[in-house]
């Protein structure tokens, strides 16, 4: 039997969460198990260096370069690694393409699995009970809460990330974007359009 | 029965609140600290990702439900540090030793962070079972959905898919089996498949006749039709 203890050790720490974190950091630092400077570095990485701008570059490249798009749909891990995107929580990537017939949407019902190297740390709603519970059963109602309404002829395919495969949605390229540079296209790619709860921005 | 984290398909949670894409990555400073502390403690090498997921799932249903996301992380981390013998309960009471810990040489340094995060931890393996199913084949997710290996143990087969008819969409290769790896029973790699289920197979009232849900499922979660 796994250890199911009703007096979990965490209850020995202060109950207020910010103080709980602080207490544990202090204890671990005092014993030399944690270097606070390493924590700062981890935070800086996910706050400032790795985020949805990476995924947007991948999408913009796929929109611009049919060869890259084919490679991306065939073996996303290798294709995005060639652009410099690989690492923790992105070791096994699969990219799924939206079409007029099929809209893709990604969830992790069991925890919060998300393609970190391409999208960074998941937003709060992605980790919420409401999204985890409902995305698989009523994706269209969830999409409506994001302001997205799909045509009746478009089927929804929801990907529940139950293993170490991480999914990125390749949204459809918006109309009237012919001739735009990759940078201009990347600016149209919202984070949520790569999770499947949003659509790309339309050029103004 | 399964555990409280297995909430796919559950009723009663209310609307999703999307917020704005411009919201900060970490809503509170302590969220960032909790994430970084968890990653840095993981680098001590005293557990794997499946053990750490299971530690969060084993929070009591009452705690799991009332805790915010990073409260779950930090509380499960404290539990794991004691369970794996890294800290004592006295340490958590701040009544323990302040001497250098035997594992201190493994502490993640600031200069090694980029390399550790960039390397990641692949879960695919060369060895293990041969694929039993091929693309397009009809399969059924096993019933019951709780761990077949360990009573109350970790598994990644959600309850909502148990017993459902699906179709093999894709073979991902052999991957570490979480049911085994979370309990120190070895990596036991198995073929991992993306399996497509019609929404009408999973829910009594699907939103649309053509909608589908795809899950990544290990070979031992599936049986042939």
In the predicted model, what is the mean pLDDT of residues B17-37?
A: 97
Spatial CA neighbour of B84 closest among B187, B184, B185: B184
Which tokens go with B73? 């992380």
Q: Average pLDDT over chain B, rounded to whole?
A: 96
CATH of domain A51-195: 3.90.330.10
> Is B71–A3 a contact, with Cβ atoms under 8 angstroms apart?
no
Given pLDDT bands bounded at 50, 70 and 90, which one contains residue A1?
A: very low
Q: Looking at A64, A108, A128, A190, which residue is catalytic?
A: A108
Is B194 domain-assigned?
yes
Given pLDDT bands bounded at 50, 70 and 90, which one contains residue A203?
A: confident
Q: What is the pLDDT of residues A18-48, one digit of tens each?
A: 999 999 999 999 999 999 999 999 999 999 9
In the predicted model, what is the mean pLDDT of residues A65-94?
A: 97
Please say whether the beta carbons of B149 and B180 come within 8 A.
yes
Same structural domain, B94 and B166: no
Number of domains in chain B: 2
Q: What is the pLDDT of residues B69-110, one digit of tens each?
A: 999 999 999 999 999 999 999 999 988 888 999 999 999 999
Q: Give the chain B residue whose CA is nearest to the CA of A154.
A: B210
Is B128 domain-assigned?
no
**Residue A111: active-site member:** yes
Domain of residue B172, CATH code: 2.30.30.50
Given pLDDT bands bounded at 50, 70 and 90, which one contains residue B34?
A: very high
> Is B121–A28 a contact, with Cβ atoms under 8 angstroms apart?
no
Q: Looking at A64, A113, A161, A193, which residue is catalytic?
A: A113
In the predicted model, what is the mean pLDDT of residues B149-167?
A: 97
Same structural domain, B145 and B106: no
- By residue range, what is the domain housing residue B83? 29-119
Domain of residue B83, CATH code: 1.10.472.20
Is B79 domain-assigned?
yes
Same structural domain, B102 and B173: no
Given pLDDT bands bounded at 50, 70 and 90, which one contains residue A81?
A: very high
Is B33 domain-assigned?
yes
Q: Which of B49, B92, B118 sits opposite A12 (nearest CB)?
A: B92
Q: What is the pLDDT of residues B176-203, one digit of tens each?
A: 999 999 999 999 999 999 999 999 999 9
Q: Which residues of A touch B166 (CB under 8 A)?
A: none
Q: How far is residue B172's CA from residue B155's CA, in Å, rounded to a whole number?
A: 18
Please say whether the beta carbons of A153 and A101 come within 8 A.
yes
Q: Which residues of A touch B15 (CB under 8 A)?
A: 130, 145
Find the Cα–Cα–Cα–Cα dihedral B197, B199, B202, B205, rounded to 10°.
-170
Given pLDDT bands bounded at 50, 70 and 90, which one contains residue A5?
A: low
DSSP letter string over chain B? ---TT--TT-S---------TTS-SSSSHHHHHHHHHHHHHHTT-S--HHHHHHHHHTS-HHHHHHS-HHHHHHHHHHHHHHHTTSS-HHHHTT-S--SPPTTGGGPPPGGGHHHHHHH----B-S-SPPP---TT-EEEE-SS-S-SSSTT------GGGTT-EEEEEEEEEEE--HHHHTTTS----EEEEEEEEEHHHH-SS-S-TT-EEEEEEEGGGEEE-
Backbone angles phi, psi at B52, to 5 degrees: -70, -35
User: Sign (positive/negative) of CA torsion B180, B181, B186, B192?
Assistant: positive
Q: How far is residue A82's CA from residue A79's CA, in Å, rounded to a whole number?
A: 5
Is B13 domain-assigned?
no
Is B3 domain-assigned?
no
Same structural domain, B150 and B217: yes
Query: In this predicted structure, what is the pLDDT of residue A204?
Result: 78
Q: What are the extents of the domains in chain A?
A: 16-48, 51-195
Same structural domain, B109 and B188: no
Is B152 domain-assigned?
yes
> Is A24–B78 a contact, with Cβ atoms under 8 angstroms apart?
yes
Query: In this predicted structure, what is the pLDDT of residue B1?
Result: 53
Spatial CA neighbour of A44 closest among A120, A118, A138: A120
Is B7 domain-assigned?
no
**Residue A190: active-site member:** no
In this prediction, does ipTM exceed 0.95? Answer: yes
Q: Average pLDDT over chain A, rounded to whole?
A: 96
Same structural domain, B49 and B113: yes
For A120-124, A154-158, B90-94, which range has the lowest pLDDT when averaged over its residues?
Answer: B90-94
Query: Is the pLDDT assigned to residue A7 strictly greater than 80?
Result: no
**Residue A204: active-site member:** no
**End-to-end Cα distance, chain B:** 24
Q: What is the pLDDT of residues B113-142, one digit of tens each?
A: 999 999 999 999 998 899 999 999 999 999
In the predicted model, what is the mean pLDDT of residues B54-58?
A: 97
Same structural domain, B109 and B142: no
């Amino acid at each position: 039997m796994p250890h199911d203890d009703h007096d979990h050790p965490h209850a020995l720490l202060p109950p207020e969460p910010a103080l709980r974190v602080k207490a544990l950091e202090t204890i671990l630092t005092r014993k030399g198990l944690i270097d606070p400077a390493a924590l700062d570095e981890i935070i800086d990485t996910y706050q400032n260096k790795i985020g949805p701008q990476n995924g947007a570059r991948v999408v913009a490249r796929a929109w611009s370069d049919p060869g890259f798009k084919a490679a991306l749909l065939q073996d996303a891990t290798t294709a995005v690694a060639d652009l410099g995107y690989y690492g923790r929580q992105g070791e096994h990537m699969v990219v799924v393409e939206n079409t007029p017939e099929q809209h893709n949407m990604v969830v992790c019902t069991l925890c919060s699995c998300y393609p970190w190297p391409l999208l960074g740390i998941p937003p709060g709603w992605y980790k919420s009970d409401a999204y985890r519970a409902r995305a698989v059963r009523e994706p269209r109602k969830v999409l409506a809460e994001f302001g997205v309404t799909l045509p009746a002829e478009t089927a929804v395919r929801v990907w529940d990330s139950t293993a170490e495969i991480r999914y990125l949605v390749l949204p459809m390229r918006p109309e009237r974007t012919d001739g735009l540079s990759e940078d201009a296209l990347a600016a149209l790619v919202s984070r949520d359009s790569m999770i499947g709860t949003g659509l790309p921005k339309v050029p103004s | 029965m399964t555990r409280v984290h297995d909430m796919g398909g559950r009723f009663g949670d209310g609307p999703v609140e999307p917020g704005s894409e411009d919201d900060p990555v970490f809503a509170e400073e302590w969220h960032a600290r909790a994430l970084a502390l968890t990653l840095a403690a993981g680098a001590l090498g005293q557990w794997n990702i499946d053990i750490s997921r299971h530690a969060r799932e084993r929070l009591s249903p009452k705690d799991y439900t009332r805790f915010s996301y990073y409260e779950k992380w930090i509380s499960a981390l404290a539990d794991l540090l004691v369970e794996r013998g890294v800290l004592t309960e006295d340490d958590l009471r701040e009544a323990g030793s302040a001497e250098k810990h035997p594992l201190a040489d493994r502490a993640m340094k600031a200069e090694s962070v980029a390399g550790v995060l960039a390397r990641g931890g692949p879960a695919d393996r060369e060895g293990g079972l041969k694929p039993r199913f091929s693309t397009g084949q009809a399969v059924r997710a096993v019933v019951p959905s709780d761990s077949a290996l360990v009573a109350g143990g970790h598994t990644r087969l959600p309850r909502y898919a148990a017993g459902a008819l699906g179709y093999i969409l894709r073979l991902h290769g052999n991957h570490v089996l979480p049911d085994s790896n979370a309990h120190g029973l070895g990596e036991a790699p198995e073929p991992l498949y993306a399996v497509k289920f019609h929404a009408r197979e999973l829910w009594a009232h699907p939103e649309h006749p053509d909608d589908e849900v795809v899950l990544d499922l290990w070979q031992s979660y599936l049986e042939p039709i």
